[in-house]
Structure 1
């Protein structure tokens, strides 16, 4: 088998694995309501596969530097969610989702121009989340989450989106470098697919509730990205990525437990 064909088949396999993972998580998200759905959506279900496959092709230094670029992009994602939540209350899907994604692209373009440090990434996340979390609070609840009638193209659309992202990140990482790769790896595939698929079915306010409830979970995701940078340099890519995943899971489990405790009190 030629090296070119081997690379192509390996890339297709990686794309298929990532697509299956994200589609499964998205289906669970739809059926779990806005709170649990948001916690699932903020797990690294799209960035995780991207970084895992990158770790197979690059050394720990590449992964660590890519994580530094990914960290401020996490702040851009919560701003994207805020823009969507505000517009979706009265606007249609194309205006709401289109404006939110456009904001993310502009911010990501700005972010990639700078060489970030761990402290800088953490500070920009802290400031952004301190502003966005209170602003998202009014959009976290809806009177009733409508039932979702899935259409035939839902799963193929999600699979195509995430497969395209993973394929692009993996195949271009060698020549665009870790800084651009780190930005691309955090493109909000899950949030974008929710906007495009859920908005026409359950309406803007209900879809916005899922994204608004994701704010605290997305903060934990940012801590997971920071963990990638720190842990891969100390322990290698495999252990470092596992530590980052454990950070995200532990954070979201804590949020879930805290939510149940507050609900039990009331």
Structure 2
């Protein structure tokens, strides 16, 4: 087997694995409502496979450096969510999603210009989430209409994530860890949710899903910080495992707090 054919086969396999993650997460989210759906959406559905495959091709230092670039990008993602949520109350998909994505790209371009430390990346997240979470709170509670899944919904999301993984993995060797870390965190799941749900159920209900995702996204930022530290100390396998554990534990805690509040309100 030639080197080129081997590369294509393994790339397609990686894309298929990433797509399988998205299909599973999409089914869980659609059957569980906006709150659980938001928590599922903030799991590393797209970034996780990207980082796993990067770890197969590069050493721990590459992954640790990529995580430093990913950390401030997580702050840009919560800003994207805020822009979309606010605009979606009055405007259609093109303006709401388009403006949010353009702001994300602009912030990513600025972030790319700097060499980030762990402290600086955490500070960006602290400021971004400290501003955005209170502003998003008023948009979290919206009556959700019944969502009927169409045949192309899951394949569309899966193809987007698979394409992102393919781009990150195939270009990582020449763009380096910083750009790879930025591309790995493009909010492909949020974007696909906007594109699919907004025309079907309207802006405010779609915005409510993203608004509910704010706290989960904060935990995702913590997981990126854990990834950077753990990979440098223990290697890629342990580092990635600890980062995933951080995400899952954080979201389970949010779910438990939400259930407890609901139970207390019923009494």
Considering the TM-score relative to the shorter chain, is it more than 0.5?
A: yes
The whole-number CA distance in structure 2 between the counterparts of 1:25 and 1:101 is: 23
The whole-number CA distance in structure 2 between the counterparts of 1:174 and 1:24 is: 30
Per the alignment, residue 25 of structure 1 pairs with 25
**SS of match in other structure, 1:32:** helix
Per the alignment, residue 172 of structure 1 pairs with 171
Deviates more, 1:14-23 or 1:167-176: 14-23
Shift of 1:94: 1.1
RMSD over aligned Cα, in angstroms? 0.8
Shift of 1:9: 0.4
Cα displacement string for residues 128-152 of structure 1 (whole angstroms, at most 9, x for unaligned residues): 100000000010011x211112223
Per the alignment, residue 79 of structure 2 pairs with 79
Per the alignment, residue 197 of structure 1 pairs with 196
Per the alignment, residue 253 of structure 1 pairs with 252
The whole-number CA distance in structure 2 between the counterparts of 1:105 and 1:27 is: 29
4+ aligned runs moved over 2 Å, structure 1: none
Shift of 1:46: 0.6
**SS of match in other structure, 2:200:** helix
The whole-number CA distance in structure 2 between the counterparts of 1:205 and 1:123 is: 30
The whole-number CA distance in structure 2 between the counterparts of 1:172 and 1:29 is: 31
Shift of 1:244: 0.2
- Retained in 1: the 8 A contact 2:26–2:154? no
Shift of 1:155: 2.1
Shift of 1:30: 2.1
- Retained in 2: the 8 A contact 1:51–1:63? yes
Deviates more, 1:230-239 or 1:150-159: 150-159
Deviates more, 1:18-27 or 1:165-174: 18-27
What TM-score does the superposition give when structure 2 sets the normalisation length?
0.98
Per the alignment, residue 264 of structure 1 pairs with 263
Q: How many residues align?
A: 265
- Retained in 2: the 8 A contact 1:26–1:190? no
Shift of 1:153: 2.0
Shift of 1:158: 1.0
Match runs of 1:133-172 below 5 Å: 133-142=133-142, 144-172=143-171
**SS of match in other structure, 2:110:** helix
The whole-number CA distance in structure 2 between the counterparts of 1:11 and 1:47 is: 16
Matched, 1:187 2:186: yes
What TM-score does the superposition give when structure 1 sets the normalisation length?
0.98
Per the alignment, residue 34 of structure 2 pairs with 34
Deviates more, 1:64-73 or 1:253-262: 253-262
Structure 1 portions without partners, runs of 5+: none
Cα displacement string for residues 206-262 of structure 1 (whole angstroms, at most 9, x for unaligned residues): 110010001110000000000110001111100100000000100111111111111
The whole-number CA distance in structure 2 between the counterparts of 1:147 and 1:202 is: 8
The whole-number CA distance in structure 2 between the counterparts of 1:174 and 1:164 is: 17
The whole-number CA distance in structure 1 between the counterparts of 2:191 and 2:20 is: 17
Per the alignment, residue 120 of structure 2 pairs with 120
Per the alignment, residue 54 of structure 1 pairs with 54
Per the alignment, residue 109 of structure 2 pairs with 109
